[in-house]
């Protein structure tokens, strides 16, 4: 018999030891037990013990909520769970909004404010409005509900979460900060807790909330217009949005039937409709709305279907939130360009000193949102064509017609600014990665920049300028440019910029230069901030005016943040 252990036995022994080590390791490690789900009901017969049990229930509920990412049950999710927990921890989880089977007056004020949330462009459903109403009804009118510590604790937590969420939404808004956001502060946990301390001292919900809102006259005007808008409609309820152009997917057709049902044109959104039946229904809708009767979905019909009070409210809500991305105080003097309105304004000491129609970028060549300062302007400017325009628009025309450049008053120059003969160039060899020249347009009345150009530093190479196609200002849709902003009242803007420098620029100096077709660079005046923004509605003459969502920005934001909202 051979001494020692065979190879097979040796491997069995190693495996046995390893398994035992793993087992020991497992026994020694304590598994983390998830918090127990809070009770749905906790009836307390002794009134003096109710607050103690409410405290216990809140502590257990918050442990569960924090472990489940804010979710308490299928219908309740806290949006500010960490801040809510921090507040109650500091107060030993004692009730804040209630005492001895009674809701405190401060809770009444908060619930009433939530009920009017739509007047601030907010959605009451974001602040647990219906659930809070039900809880308050049960705890005040139902005998068992009055004794239910679990119900009182849920009401407490929801009120506190609603308070913090509303503070955040009124001050910061619901839109994410972007590249042109100028707000510097944020709602930290510390600042939120300080707000609650302020509420406890002042006992004024509405006053505190109003102090958090943007300090802009246009914001206040829009909010006033919103209140008037809400009073003018019978009801504010969600409607199904129909995208355009249509497609033949099942989801699209189901949404269309749902929208037609909401309009009262179908008995049920689940009715089967063949092509003929659908055509009859759409024809009826078009007839009732005074639209051209085609029986087919087209732009006017879809716009009409989507032009509901619900969609308008969401656009107002988005615009109110855009004000929250601006600084708390605007400069004393600034230029404001609103893309959807096709308008430019000069604002000085909160007064609109001048307004002009403008032309902005087409949807495919959008005018960018930006903040800068107008530093100078040039009479009879020369236009250097951006490479993007050269290769997307000009190159095909140059290849098709060599005389195109001369007809457009365009010249090709090299790095030394020497003008080249375009006929001597091998145009077919050029592409966006290989074009060592510039194309410029000579100054003059037929220059695309017109006779005046306003410069401000920006990474997009856009500017304000006159145009040689001034007839386009009469069009209703003025999203027509390559991205720059063409301004109709360019002389009024120039006059405003040099208004304090009468020694260098006596009256009519600028006009004389233009009459004589002289090129001058005008600088040395105080730089004026310019804001190019996208605000698709505003209050005019006491009522809200809606502008076309030319770049689809509102619809995109609605889809991301507002389409699942409830009242």
Helix 205-212 to helix 149-171 angle (10° resolution) is: 30
Distance CA 304, CA 284 (A): 13
3-class state of residue 497 by DSSP: helix
DSSP bridge partners of 411: 440
pLDDT at residue 50 is higher than 60: yes
Query: Of 123, 145, 150, 147, which is closest to residue 134 (Cα–Cα)?
Result: 145
Q: What is the reported pLDDT for 530? A: 98
Distance CA 84, CA 196 (A): 11
Distance CA 531, CA 201 (A): 39
Please indicate whether residue 373 or residue 15 has the higher confidence score (pLDDT).
373
Segment among 10-24, 68-82, 185-199, 243-257 with least mean pLDDT: 10-24
Rounded mean pLDDT of 133-148? 95
Query: Of 219, 224, 227, which is closest to residue 328 (Cα–Cα)?
Result: 219
- The count of other CB atoms within 10 Å of the CB of residue 371 is 18
Tens-digit pLDDT profile for residues 284-299: 999 999 999 999 999 9
Active site residue ranges:
465, 484
Q: Position of tokens 């789900």?
A: 37
pLDDT at residue 23 is higher than 60: no
Tens-digit pLDDT profile for residues 372-417: 999 999 999 988 888 888 888 899 999 888 789 988 888 999 988 8
Distance CA 222, CA 17 (A): 76
Q: What is the reported pLDDT for 3? A: 43
Q: How confident is the model at residue 1 (pLDDT cuts 50, 70, 90)?
A: very low
pTM above 0.85, yes or no: yes
The answer for residues whose C-beta is within 8 angstroms of residue 300's C-beta and 6 or more apart is 291, 292
- Write phi, then psi, for 333 (nearest 5 degrees): -130, 135
Q: Between the CA atoms of 187, 190, 192 and 194, what dihedral angle is there, to the nearest 10 degrees?
A: -130
Report whether 293 contacts 287 (CB < 8 A): yes
Chain-centroid distance, C-alpha 178: 9
Distance CA 309, CA 327 (A): 30
pLDDT at residue 18 is higher than 70: no
pLDDT at residue 34 is higher than 80: no
Total residues belonging to the chain: 567
- Write phi, then psi, for 506 (nearest 5 degrees): -60, 165
Rounded mean pLDDT of 87-108? 95
DSSP-assigned letter for residue 49? G
Rounded mean pLDDT of 505-526? 94
Report whether 17 contacts 114 (CB < 8 A): no
The answer for residues whose C-beta is within 8 angstroms of residue 349's C-beta and 6 or more apart is 332, 333
Q: How confident is the model at residue 6 (pLDDT cuts 50, 70, 90)?
A: low
Q: Which H or E run includes 537? A: strand 537-540
Q: How confident is the model at residue 132 (pLDDT cuts 50, 70, 90)?
A: very high
Q: What is the reported pLDDT for 415? A: 86
What is the percentage of the chain residues whose pLDDT exceeds 70? 94
Q: What is the reported pLDDT for 22? A: 45
pLDDT at residue 347 is higher than 80: yes
Q: What is the reported pLDDT for 186? A: 78
| 287 token code pair | 């007839």
Domain ranges of the chain: 47-213, 383-442
- The count of other CB atoms within 10 Å of the CB of residue 430 is 17
Q: What is the reported pLDDT for 407? A: 86
Q: Position of tokens 């190479």?
A: 461
Distance CA 351, CA 371 (A): 20
Q: What is the reported pLDDT for 99? A: 92
Q: How confident is the model at residue 443 (pLDDT cuts 50, 70, 90)?
A: confident
Rounded mean pLDDT of 32-59? 90
Distance CA 367, CA 119 (A): 32
Report whether 283 contacts 295 (CB < 8 A): yes
Q: What is the reported pLDDT for 2? A: 41
pLDDT at residue 183 is higher than 90: no
Distance CA 566, CA 239 (A): 11
């Amino acid at each position: 018999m051979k001494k020692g252990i065979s190879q097979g036995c040796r491997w069995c022994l190693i495996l046995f030891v390893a398994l035992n080590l793993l087992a020991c390791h497992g026994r020694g490690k304590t598994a983390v037990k998830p918090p127990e789900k809070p009770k749905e009901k906790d009836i307390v017969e002794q009134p003096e013990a109710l607050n103690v049990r409410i405290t216990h229930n809140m502590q257990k509920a918050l442990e569960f909520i924090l472990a489940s990412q804010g979710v308490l049950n299928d219908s309740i999710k806290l949006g500010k769970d960490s801040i809510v927990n921090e507040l109650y921890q500091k107060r030993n989880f004692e009730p804040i909004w209630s005492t001895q089977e009674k809701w405190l007056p401060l809770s009444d004020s908060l619930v009433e404010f939530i009920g009017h949330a739509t007047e601030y462009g907010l959605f009451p459903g974001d602040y647990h409005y219906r659930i809070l109403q039900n809880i308050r009804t049960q705890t005040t009118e139902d005998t068992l509900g009055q004794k239910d510590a679990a119900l009182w604790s849920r009401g407490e937590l929801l009120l506190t979460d609603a308070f913090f969420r509303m503070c955040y939404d009124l001050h910061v808004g619901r839109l994410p900060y972007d590249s042109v956001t100028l707000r510097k502060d944020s709602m930290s946990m510390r600042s939120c807790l300080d707000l609650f301390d302020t509420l406890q001292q002042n006992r004024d919900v509405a006053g505190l909330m109003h102090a958090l809102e943007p300090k802009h006259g246009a914001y206040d005007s829009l909010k006033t217009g919103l209140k008037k808008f809400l009073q003018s409609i019978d009801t504010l309820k969600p409607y199904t949005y129909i995208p355009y152009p249509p497609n033949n997917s099942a989801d699209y057709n189901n949404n269309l039937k749902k929208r037609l049902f909401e309009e009262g044109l179908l008995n049920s959104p689940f009715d089967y409709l063949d092509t003929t039946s659908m055509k009859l229904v759409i024809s009826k809708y078009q007839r009732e709305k005074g639209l051209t009767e085609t029986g087919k979905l087209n732009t006017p019909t879809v716009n009409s279907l989507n032009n509901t009070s619900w969609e308008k409210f969401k656009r107002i809500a988005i615009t109110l939130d855009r004000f929250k991305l601006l600084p708390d105080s605007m400069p004393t003097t600034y230029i404001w360009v609103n893309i959807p309105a096709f308008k430019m304004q000069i604002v000085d000491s909160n007064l609109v000193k001048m307004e002009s129609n403008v032309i902005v970028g087409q949807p495919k060549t959008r005018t960018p949102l930006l903040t800068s300062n107008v530093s100078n302007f040039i009479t009879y400017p020369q236009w250097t064509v951006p490479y993007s325009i050269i290769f997307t628009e000009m190159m095909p025309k140059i290849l098709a017609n060599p005389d195109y450049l001369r007809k457009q008053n365009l010249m090709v120059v090299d790095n030394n600014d020497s003008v080249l003969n375009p006929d001597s160039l091998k145009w077919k060899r050029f592409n966006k990665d290989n074009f060592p020249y510039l194309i410029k347009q000579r100054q003059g009345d037929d220059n695309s920049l017109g006779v005046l150009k306003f410069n401000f530093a920006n990474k997009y190479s856009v500017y304000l300028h006159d145009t040689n196609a001034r007839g386009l200002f009469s069009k209703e849709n003025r999203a027509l440019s390559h991205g720059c902003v063409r301004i109709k009242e360019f002389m009024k803007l120039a006059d405003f910029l040099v208004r304090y420098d009468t020694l260098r620029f006596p009256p009519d100096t600028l006009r004389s230069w233009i009459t004589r077709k002289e090129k001058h660079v005008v600088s040395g005046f105080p730089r004026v901030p310019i804001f190019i923004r996208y605000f698709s509605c505003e209050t005019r003459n006491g009522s809200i005016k809606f502008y076309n969502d030319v770049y689809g920005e509102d619809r995109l934001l609605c889809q991301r943040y507002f389409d699942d909202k409830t009242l």
